[in-house]
Amino acid sequence: MATSSPSKSAQPIDALIVGAGFAGMYMLHKLRGLGFNASVLEAGSGVGGTWYWNRYPGARVDIQSLEYSFGFDEELEKDWRWSERYAPQPELLKYAEHVAERFDLKRDIRFNTRVTAAHWDEAAQVWKVETDKGEAMRCRHLILATGCLSIPTDVTFPGLDTYKGDIYRTSRWPHEGVDFSGKRVGIIGTGSSAIQSIPIIAQQAEQLTVFQRTPNYSMPAHNGPIPEADFQAWAKDPRAYRAASRDTVGGFQNEPSEAMATATAPEEIHAELERRWAWGGFRILGAFADTAVDPEANRIVQEFVAGKIRQQVADPAVAEKLTPKDHPFGTKRPCVDTGYYATFNRPNVELVDLRAEPLAGFTAEGIKTSAKDYAFDAVVLATGFDAMTGAIDRIDLRGVGGRRIKDHWAEGPRTYLGLMVAGFPNLFTITGPGSPSVLTNMINSIEQHVEWIADCLVSLKQRQQTSIEASPEAEAAWCRHSTEAVTPTMLPQANSWYMGANVPGKPRMFMPYAGGLNTYTEICRQVVAKGYEGFIIRQGDRVLSESRAFTSQPAPGEIPENLLPIIMGRLMAAGLLPAE
């Protein structure tokens, strides 16, 4: 850590925010409005975060835009009109720019600046922060708005550096765009980024070869202009609409049903799944209450989607390869597409199943599998992210006693409420691991976190308190509660990025909080109402209030009777309930 700096002698600022995506932008606006001295450091050259970096063809949001937009300012809400049901990336970026301009945010954002280190100075009760520009600064509160899917995995392939063609990553797409006309293109990966870009690249390229290791479930977006009835339902009372969205498990309105697939007649199941498939997007996830926990119920949805793949793909052998078999429906992040499966009917598109012919590496001309050499003018890597922890543990982050976050998280990310980490005072994460984040509509989760953190800073200031820190006991209790929330579901059964399974050597742990945004919001509210339960609050080195327990768990909603044996069984097997 550098010791000399132009700003070393200056007063520490109240809050330094890392990242100028939607989270960092709103955090800045909120804190400034409350009279705090705050600024943002951003690695990119503009605002927008995810929507700044992921400019690949076909990138668009897959929560409806009416819900995937800020609700904190009524005028902003009224002024902005989305052009499509699921806005494309350029429009989302324009929206981010619009928000930055409207609230004059850029004057407090330093672009092209990456935070490399942050060390807690116990004596001064400040964070000492360093950047890749060699600057050092000090802040009372450090707020990481670094995004859950912002650092691409370090995936490398043998011979990659010998390949003579062009290489593109979906998550670092050139700002000027790429024209694939007349080109032979290969793409590795079949996650959301690939599933969105493949249909567009196929239209441009002379030949597109898709290298698939694991097929995913994808539902049609049925994108288009926002239906007038949907817009009117939103416009008649956007506040109420938004409140209803927040009061859901996923932070968006998805018509959750309490019906059990296993207790419903086959023709009724089929009609309901068809109705939701026709509506599009994630709507099918809410069709039955038992699909997330009961393998039998899940199989019904799996078979329905497999049937849809067969309907869309002309060649039965290709349809078979595109059908997921190794994970239950919904246990990896499902995708939302526009013409993905039908793209495999094009004469210029080929699917390579890497389970049948494993990828051996790159050659000067292209990609080599165990079966064949493929020649390409360009290769697209849609290989995913070091999710949830990647952006945080790439910072040399050290808390009390110089403890590194990487060491603290050696067994997986441990947090209290996904907001704070024991031993790291005045460090906040927005939509961090341990919070609902990626399982929800991110904007609603971001707003809830920003508002919680802002309220916390106001409370500290009013009481002249200098630091807040999660107690180790509360952190442990939150981790246990998070495990209890996810264990009854089948979510941990997939090799997903939720589990850290896509990064070799990363500890396996289900990272987001699976208890639902509505439940989580209520827990956060109760924690505050109990005087910041589970937090240690100090003034200088004096402990002013110390609450070590975490008890704020709302009673679970009524659990349907036929799910109880499955849920109890899984909790017992995991040692979370005493076996009878």
Q: Which residues bind ligand N01 (CB under 6 A)?
A: 60-62, 149, 155, 170, 188-194, 196, 213-214, 333, 354, 359, 382-385, 438, 497, 502
Q: How far apart are CA 127 and CA 120, in angstroms?
A: 5
Judge contact between 361 and 167, C-beta under 8 A. no
Complex with ligand N01: residue 354 or 528, whichever CB lies closer: 354
End-to-end CA distance of the chain: 54
Question: In angstroms, what is the C-alpha Rg of the chain?
Answer: 24
Structure tokens at 54: 């992921």
Judge contact between 526 and 552, C-beta under 8 A. yes
- CB of residue 119 to ligand N01, shortest distance in Å: 31
- CB of residue 189 to ligand N01, shortest distance in Å: 3
Judge contact between 563 and 294, C-beta under 8 A. yes
Torsion sign (Cα): 417, 287, 441, 380:
positive
- CB of residue 265 to ligand N01, shortest distance in Å: 34
- CB of residue 521 to ligand N01, shortest distance in Å: 21
- CB of residue 87 to ligand N01, shortest distance in Å: 10
Complex with ligand N01: residue 78 or 325, whichever CB lies closer: 325
CB atoms inside a 10 Å sphere around CB 410: 10
Complex with ligand N01: residue 224 or 540, whichever CB lies closer: 224
384's enclosing H/E stretch is: none
103, 107, 108, 114: CA torsion to nearest 10? 120
Query: Which 3 state secondary structure label does DSSP give 88?
Result: strand
Nearest residue to ligand N01 by CB is: 191
Please choose, from the candidates 63, 567, 82, 48, the residue with its C-alpha nearest in 3D space to the C-alpha of residue 334. 63
- CB of residue 281 to ligand N01, shortest distance in Å: 10
- CB of residue 190 to ligand N01, shortest distance in Å: 4
Within 13 Å and on the Cβ side, how many CA atoms surround 1?
Answer: 20
Judge contact between 385 and 500, C-beta under 8 A. no
Complex with ligand N01: residue 37 or 493, whichever CB lies closer: 493
The CA distances from residue 416 to 470, 474, 477, in Å, are 6, 6, 8
- CB of residue 362 to ligand N01, shortest distance in Å: 12
- CB of residue 237 to ligand N01, shortest distance in Å: 26
Q: 3-state SS of the chain: helix, strand, coil percent to 5?
A: 35, 20, 45
Complex with ligand N01: residue 196 or 521, whichever CB lies closer: 196
Complex with ligand N01: residue 190 or 521, whichever CB lies closer: 190
Sorted by sequence, the CB contacts under 8 Å of residue 539 that are 6+ apart come out as 464, 465, 466
- CB of residue 116 to ligand N01, shortest distance in Å: 25
Going along 177-307, which residue ranges are E strands?
A: 184-188, 207-212, 218-220
Judge contact between 135 and 5, C-beta under 8 A. yes
- CB of residue 59 to ligand N01, shortest distance in Å: 6
Complex with ligand N01: residue 50 or 518, whichever CB lies closer: 50
Q: How far apart are CA 564 and CA 554, in angstroms?
A: 18
Complex with ligand N01: residue 62 or 67, whichever CB lies closer: 62
Q: How far apart are CA 234 and CA 211, in angstroms?
A: 41
Within 13 Å and on the Cβ side, how many CA atoms surround 531?
Answer: 9
Complex with ligand N01: residue 62 or 484, whichever CB lies closer: 62
